[in-house]
Amino acid sequence: MATLNLKNINKSFGATQVLFDIDLAINDKEFVVFVGPSGCGKSTLLRIISGLEMATDGQIIIDGDDVSEAHPVERGISMVFQSYALYPHLTVYENIAFPLRVQKKTKEEIHAGVMEAARILKLEERLQFKPGALSGGQRQRVAIGRSIVRKPKIFLFDEPLSNLDAALRGDMRVELSKLHRDLDATMVYVTHDQIEAMTMADRIVVLNGGRVEQFDTPMALYHTPNTKFVASFIGQPSMNFIDAEVTGLNGGLEVTLEGNVPMVLPVDTTDAAVGDRVEVGIRPEHVFYAPGAGVLNITVDILERLGGVSMTYGGVAGCEKFCAALDGEAPISEGHVVPLGVNPEDCHVFTKNGIALKRQKLPALV
Amino acid sequence: MMDRYSLLEKIGLYIAIAIFLTFVLLPFFEMFMTSLRPLDHLRSAPYKFWSDEFSFDAYSNMWVTVPKLGRYIFNGVFIAGAVTVLAMIFVVPAAYAFARFEFKGKAVTLSLFLAVNMFAGAVLLIPLYRVLRTLGLLNTYFAMIIPGAAFLVPMGIWLLKSYLEKIPKELEEAAYVDGASKMYTLRRVMLPLAAPGLVVVGVSVFIGAYAQQYLFAITFNQNSDYMPLPAGVFEFIGYQDVVWNEMMAASLVGVLPVMLIFLFMQRFLIAGLTAGAIKE
Ligand SMILES: Nc1ncnc2c1ncn2[C@@H]1O[C@H](COP(=O)(O)OP(=O)(O)OP(=O)(O)O)[C@@H](O)[C@H]1O
Ligand SMILES: [Mg+2]
């Protein structure tokens, strides 16, 4: 059992506040990922959970106990650092054994603990090496090994894969997900790589400027982002936004996109009024090549044929850098104007303040 | 590895090193040659580079000319060693604090230390003399050890501080998260990693102490039992004659223990001990 509740966490360094009123309830055995742009406070929040940093205000509650003032070990957490933070003068064995030695475990207990961690992380062959003689992926595994020997209730990871090459990162991603399943522990994972976030998380916390933008499952973030920030942050390539004006509220939101394109979008219209300026969000993967029935006309600047898809970049009315993921075989070419279609159900609408109007026709998965 | 020099660059490098080494080592070579010459050679022109009269006699005679020579050599090493130990006792915790903690007046104290170093010891000799006299420390080992250490602590702090700052902070944080106490972390993580830095600083302090003890020795100490070698070699200057060859022999023998210490320490100075600690 390990639930983690953050209550109203605020953090300031001197006069600058970096975290604002963070409230989160993380369930037992959940894999939660913090994402957000650089400097948004992900590491700081993780360090506050770990006990390395004290919150200026607010409470940290683990399994119902207020541990705001407790030592990391009493909190039952362990942490894998953004840098590996391995002890370079100690062997892999001693690095992994370090937390057990601190706890004054017997020789046998230490040996058993280290060997088990080494087995899980496939480090048996490397136990007598120093960290300097290991590859990046192996170092990362040693760092993880050091965090699992103590059998903590909550694992904290701060961008553990950010320095590995793409292929290795993919492997480690799978291994970490497996580790989560095998250890049955609660994990909090920081990254600014949204693929890591989408693939590993049970739920994702999107942070922006020290505030929680949204805390939800990956699919919910993708299909029902609460704000324009989340909409543009989640999804690769990013969502396109086109300025529009509300022209009516009958049977959905009637809008006229820049370039005089009328559309009726199935979203909640409670907070909308005729004449409002809004932004319509369209994901690149939701537009398609539509000869004769185009809603948007894109002037193709760059065309990248990737096989399955043709990434098409160019301008449409109201959006100079529009990106469309079209069919791999779409008969289009650079320099031409191409008609694109989009289903109204797939569109997102954001007010001028960046708040989403609730979509009303959602895919079955959400 | 960055050893991609062209042949020309290599030749240039070696020439530069050779010139530098010649400058540094020529005095030692000349000292050695002088120690081998009979005394009357020294004034005879033309300069003889080699002669059959060369001998190692000075190396045995010097112990007779200056009976306390052994004691002086010991004192020199002992005082410099004691200065080093005393200075390091202050340097290590202070450097750690300056490297890791934020506190009021940190920048000011650090620059003050630097300022102190700019005062040559000589400027402070008179006030120091009075202080030591008041404390009753004149003509003791302490008269040379305490001021010696005091003058070297600031330099030691600056050197070690910059070394400690290079040890990633995450290592301490990782140890903290794993439940290690401050002392355990210092003993098992920080000091082993700082070992090369400690040796470098220790060696620098030792050299500084060995070089500066002369000044303190001739001002604060009249007891020949406590004289270090640099002051002791003055006894080779007699009323009529300076026994140059024995003086040079004594000086060379005097540096020998220091040289040996250095050779021994060198193996600790291997670079790259922190390799693999964090991802760069
Ligand atoms: N010790 C500190 N003193 C002052 N400001 C700090 C300190 N630590 C972090 N900050 C500030 O807090 C903000 C959040 O930093 P944090 O390291 O949490 O960002 P992050 O989201 O982890 O970014 P990244 O993705 O680059 O790692 C930044 O603006 C940073 O400058
Ligand atoms: Mg960070």
Q: pTM to 2 decimals?
A: 0.80
C-alpha of A357 from chain center: 22
Q: Which CATH superfamily, name and number, covers B67-274?
A: MetI-like (1.10.3720.10)
Smallest CA-to-CA distance from A189 within A26, A33, A45 is with A33
Chain A CB within 8 Å of residue B170 CB: yes
- Whether residue B216 contacts residue B147, with contact meaning beta carbons closer than 8 Å, is answered with yes
Are residues B277 and A86, on separate chains, in Cβ contact within 8 Å?
yes
According to the model, what pLDDT value does residue B242 have? 83
Ligand 1: nearest atom to the Cα of A192: 25
CA distance B97 to B100: 5
**What residue in B sits closest to A130 (Cα-Cα)?**
B276
Q: What is the ipTM of this complex?
A: 0.83
Ligand 1 center from residue B170 Cα (angstroms): 15
According to the model, what pLDDT value does residue B275 have? 41
Return the amino acid letter for B95: A
Ligand 1: nearest atom to the Cα of A41: 18
Residue A352 in this model has a pLDDT that exceeds 60: yes
Mean pLDDT over all residues of chain B? 85
Give the residue-averaged pLDDT of A257-281.
93
- Whether residue A86 contacts residue A139, with contact meaning beta carbons closer than 8 Å, is answered with yes
Antiparallel, parallel or unpaired: β A154-158 and A186-190? parallel
According to the model, what pLDDT value does residue A366 have? 64
- Please give, one letter per residue, the 3-state secondary structure of chain B: CCCCCCHHHHHHHHHHHHHHHHHHHHHHHHHHHHHHCCHHHHHCCCCCCCCCCCCCHHHHHHHHHCCCHHHHHHHHHHHHHHHHHHHHHHHHHHHHHHHHCCCCCHHHHHHHHHHHHHCCHHHHHHHHHHHHHHCCCCCCHHHHHHHHHHHHHHHHHHHHHHHHHCCCHHHHHHHHHCCCCHHHHHHHHHHHHHHHHHHHHHHHHHHHHHHHHHHHHHHHCCCHHHCCHHHHHHHHECCCCECHHHHHHHHHHHHHHHHHHHHHHHHHHCCCCCCCCCCC
Neighbours of ion ligand 2 (CB under 5 A): A 43
CA distance B146 to B135: 12
Chain B: closest CA distance from residue A198 (Å): 25
- Whether residue A297 contacts residue A317, with contact meaning beta carbons closer than 8 Å, is answered with yes
Q: Is B47 left (phi over 0), alpha (psi -120 to 50) or beta?
A: beta
- Whether residue A261 contacts residue A290, with contact meaning beta carbons closer than 8 Å, is answered with no
Burial, A320: exposed, middle or buried (Cβ in 10 Å; 0-12, 13-18, 19+)?
A: exposed
Can you read off the two tokens belonging to residue A206? 């999107």
Pick the more confident residue, A190 or A161. A190
What size, in residues, is chain A?
Answer: 366
pLDDT tens digit sequence for B229-242 = 888 888 888 877 88
Residues of B in contact with A150 (CB under 8 A): 178-179
Return the amino acid letter for B116: V
According to the model, what pLDDT value does residue A21 have? 96
According to the model, what pLDDT value does residue B272 have? 39
With pLDDT > 90 as the criterion, what percentage of chain B qualifies? 30
According to the model, what pLDDT value does residue B279 have? 46
Burial, B33: exposed, middle or buried (Cβ in 10 Å; 0-12, 13-18, 19+)?
A: middle
Smallest CA-to-CA distance from A126 within A145, A109, A108, A107 is with A145
pLDDT tens digit sequence for B167-181 = 888 999 999 999 999
Q: What are the Cα distances from residue A53, in Å, to A44, A46, A72, A162?
A: 7, 9, 10, 22
According to the model, what pLDDT value does residue B37 have? 84
Can you read off the two tokens belonging to residue B217? 């020795």
What size, in residues, is chain B?
Answer: 280
Can you read off the two tokens belonging to residue B189? 């993580």
| Range with lowest mean pLDDT among A119-123, B11-15, B40-44, B244-248 | B40-44
CA distance B53 to A5: 91
According to the model, what pLDDT value does residue B2 have? 55
Q: Is A39 in the pocket of ligand 1 (CB under 6 A)?
A: yes
Give the residue-averaged pLDDT of A149-168.
89
Residues of A in contact with B176 (CB under 8 A): 52, 72
The DSSP letter of residue A233 is: H
In chain B, CATH 1.10.3720.10 covers: 67-274
Ligand 1 center from residue A13 Cα (angstroms): 9
Whose tokens are 């109204």? That residue is A344
Return the amino acid letter for B180: A
CA distance B65 to B235: 8
With pLDDT > 70 as the criterion, what percentage of chain A qualifies? 99
DSSP element (H, E) containing A102: helix A92-102
CA angle A197, A233, A62 (to 5 degrees): 45
pLDDT tens digit sequence for B251-268 = 888 888 888 877 877 766
| Range with lowest mean pLDDT among A290-304, A319-333, B70-84, B105-119 | B105-119
DSSP element (H, E) containing A93: helix A92-102
A175: three-class secondary structure by DSSP: helix
DSSP element (H, E) containing A95: helix A92-102
Give the residue-averaged pLDDT of A80-94.
91
Chain A: closest CA distance from residue B127 (Å): 44
Is residue B276 very low, low, confident or very high in pLDDT (cuts 50, 70, 90)?
A: very low
DSSP element (H, E) containing A50: helix A42-50
Domains of chain A, each with CATH number or no CATH: 4-231 (3.40.50.300), 237-350 (2.40.50.140)
Give the residue-averaged pLDDT of A303-332.
93
Mean pLDDT over all residues of chain A? 93
Are residues B180 and A86, on separate chains, in Cβ contact within 8 Å?
no
Q: What angle in degrees, to the nearest 10, is found between the helix axes of B7-36 and B244-265?
A: 140
Return the amino acid letter for A34: F
Give the residue-averaged pLDDT of A43-60.
95
- Whether residue A66 contacts residue A59, with contact meaning beta carbons closer than 8 Å, is answered with yes
Q: Is A42 in the pocket of ligand 1 (CB under 6 A)?
A: yes
| Range with lowest mean pLDDT among A115-119, A195-199, B222-226, B273-277 | B273-277
